[in-house]
Amino acid sequence: MDDVRTMVTGRSIVEVECGIVTHDWVNDSYKHLIAEAPATALAARPGQFFHILCPADSVDSPYLRRPMSVYRVDRDAARIEFLYKVAGAGTRTLSSLEVGGKLNVFGPLGHGFSTGQRARHAAIVARGVGLSTLAPLVEAAVGDGIAVTAILSARSPEYVMSDKYLESAGARVLTVTDSDGTSDVDRVEDMVRRLITDEGVDYVATCGSNRLLFMLQRVCAETDVRGEVAMEQRMGCGLGMCFCCVSPFRKGDELVYRRVCCDGPVFDIQEATAW
Asked whether residue 212 carries a pLDDT value surpassing 80, the answer given is yes
Asked whether residue 7 carries a pLDDT value surpassing 80, the answer given is no
Give the confidence band of 117 by pLDDT, cuts at 50, 70, 90: low
Comma-separated ranges of CATH 2.40.30.10 domains in the chain: 3-109
Distance separating alpha carbons of residues 255 and 124, to the nearest angstrom: 27
CATH 2.40.30.10 for domain 3-109, yes or no, is yes
| In this structure, CATH architecture of domain 121-229 | 3-Layer(aba) Sandwich (3.40)
Mean pLDDT, residues 104-128: 89
Looking at residue 5, its pLDDT comes to 43
Give the confidence band of 8 by pLDDT, cuts at 50, 70, 90: very low
Per-residue pLDDT tens over the stretch 154-188 = 999 999 988 999 999 999 999 999 999 999 999 99
Looking at residue 57, its pLDDT comes to 84
- Model pTM score: 0.91
Give the confidence band of 195 by pLDDT, cuts at 50, 70, 90: very high
Per-residue pLDDT tens over the stretch 261-273 = 999 999 999 999 9
Q: Which residues pair with 106 in a beta bridge?
A: 15, 51
Looking at residue 52, its pLDDT comes to 94
- Residues listed for the chain: 275
User: Three-state secondary structure along the chain?
Assistant: CCEEEEEECCEEEEEEEEEEEEEEECCCCEEEEEEECCHHHHCCCCCCEEEECCCCCCCCCCCCCEEEECCEEECCCCEEEEEEECCCHHHHHHCCCCCCCEEEEEEEECECCCCCCCCCEEEEEEECCHHHHCHHHHHHHHHCCCEEEEEEEECCHHHCCCHHHHHHCCCEEEEEECCCCCCCHHHHHHHHHHHHHHHCCCEEEEECCHHHHHHHHHHHHHHCCEEEEECCCCCCCCCCCCCCCEEEEEECCEEEEEEHHHHCEEEECCCECCC
Distance separating alpha carbons of residues 48 and 81, to the nearest angstrom: 13
Comma-separated ranges of CATH 3.40.50.80 domains in the chain: 121-229
In this structure, of 12-16, 108-112, 228-232, the range with the lowest mean pLDDT score is 12-16
Rounded to whole angstroms, what are the CA distances from 194 to 123, 174, 198?
A: 11, 13, 5
For the chain, how far is it from start to end, CA to CA, in angstroms? 35
Is residue 17 within 8 Å of 27, Cβ to Cβ?
Answer: no
Mean pLDDT, residues 196-219: 96
Share of the chain above pLDDT 90, in %: 79
244 phi/psi in degrees, rounded to 5: -70, -30
Looking at residue 11, its pLDDT comes to 57
Distance separating alpha carbons of residues 98 and 36, to the nearest angstrom: 14
Distance separating alpha carbons of residues 128 and 71, to the nearest angstrom: 13
Per-residue pLDDT tens over the stretch 120-146 = 999 999 998 788 899 999 999 999 999
Looking at residue 121, its pLDDT comes to 97
Per-residue pLDDT tens over the stretch 78-106 = 999 999 999 899 999 999 999 999 999 99
